[in-house]
Structure 1
Amino acid sequence: MSFDPVYTARSNILIVGTWPSPKSREQGFFYGHPQNRFWPMLAALMHAPIPETIEQKTRLICDNDLALWDTIESCTITGASDASIRDVVPTDLAWLCRQAPIERIVCNGATAYRLCVQYHHLPGVQVLRLPSTSPANAAWSMERLLEQWGPALTRREEECGEE
C-alpha cells in the first residue's frame, strides 16, 4: 500500500522516500517507525514541535510549502529492506509537479535518489540526494542530518526573487 502525496498548491520542495516501511503501513502514514529521525529532524529545521498525529505531520509539511511522497507506487519488498526492492511501479511525480510548483526534489537516502533519477525525468526540477533518516543509517547523527538537510529544505533568496 502506498500513500497519497501530501502537498498544497504552494508546495515547492518535494521530499521523497522509496516505499513505506511495515511500521509506516501499519500506522497509515509516512515515516512511521518510532526510531526514524524524519519527523524530529523536520520539526527542528522548521522550528516547530515534533508532530505526533497524522494531522500534525500533514500540517508541518503543508505549512512549510513542502510536499511528501514516495518514488514507488508498488513493488515487491522483503520487510523494510530497500536492497530487496524489485518489480517497481513508480509513482507519477510528473503529475504532482503539475499540481504544485515543485522546484526541487529531495531524496531521503541513496535508494530513493537512484529510483527517482531512474524513473522520473523532470526537466527544470533539481534532484538532491540526502542521507537517509532511517534508524539503519546510524552513521549519521541527528546533528549531521540537520546540517545536510537544512540547506536543501530552504529556498535561496535568489530563487524566491528577493533581494
Structure 2
Amino acid sequence: MAEYQHISHGFKPVFDERSRVLVLGSFPSVLSRENRFYYGNPQNRFWRVMATVLGEPDPDVDDIPGKRAMLLRHGIALWDVIESCDVRGSSDASIRNVVPADVARITRAAPIRSVLCNGGTAGHLYRRWLLPVTGIEAEVLPSTSPANAAWGLERLTERWRAALS
C-alpha cells in the first residue's frame, strides 16, 4: 500500500456570484490531482450524472472549461471539504490530519442555499469541519465513485436529480 503523504488540494473551487448549490467531495483522487480538476478518474460517474441531470451533453473527459461552464450555467459550485491532509493514494478511508477548506470563501461571494455532499466521507467531514462555518445542513448523496458499485448509473442519476431539483 502507498505511504502516507501530506498533500494540498492543488486547484481552485468552481463558483461565481450566481452559485446557489454547493457540491462538496472529500479530497481529490490521485488522477484528479494529476489532471488538476475534479473527478478526473474517467470511471467516476460525477460528470455523466451531472450532465444528465442538467440536460447537458456529457462533457469530454479533458474539457475542463466545458465542465466548469456547465456547472456555473446551472448555479452549481464545486469544491472539496479538505484543503490538505495526510492520505494514502486516493483512499478516503486513509485520510487523517485534515485541514478543512475555507468554505466561507464561497459563502461570502455566492447565495448558497443548499449543500450536497458526494458520499458519506464528504458528509461526515462536512458536519465536523464546515457545518459550523456555513450553518447550512448538508444532504449526503450516494458517491459517484466507481467504488460505490451498489448504486448503478440510472439509480444514482435519479437520486442526484431529486436533490438538485
TM over 0.5: yes
**Which amino acid in the other structure matches residue 94 of structure 1?**
A
Q: Identity, % of aligned pairs?
A: 48
The alpha carbon displacement at 1:88 in A equals: 0.2
Per-residue deviation, 1:5: 0.8
Cα displacement (A) at 1:64: 0.5
By how many angstroms is 1:96 displaced?
A: 1.0
Structure 1's unaligned 5+ residue stretches are: 155-163
Give the CA RMSD over aligned residues: 0.9
Q: Does 1:81 align with 2:104?
A: no
**CA distance in 2 between partners of 1:138 and 1:106 (Å):** 20
1:27 paired with 2:31, answer no
Match of 2:5 in 1: none
CA distance in 2, matches of 1:29, 1:38: 12
Partner-residue secondary structure (3-state), 2:111? coil
Gaps of 5+ in 2: 1-7
Decide which of 106, 109, 118 is 1:96's aligned counterpart.
106
Give the equivalent residue in structure 2 for 1:65. Answer: 75
After TM superposition, what 4+ stretches of structure 1 lie above 3 angstroms from structure 2? none
Q: Deviations over 1:73-100 (max 9, x none)?
A: 0001111110000010000112211110
Please list the CA deviations of residues 99-155 of structure 1 after superposition, one character each: whole Å capped at 9, or x if unmatched.
1000111000000000000001222x231100000000011001111121112112x
Paired residue type of 1:88: V
Aligned length: 153
Q: Which residue of 1 aligns with 2:146?
A: 135
Q: Secondary structure at the match of 2:43?
A: coil
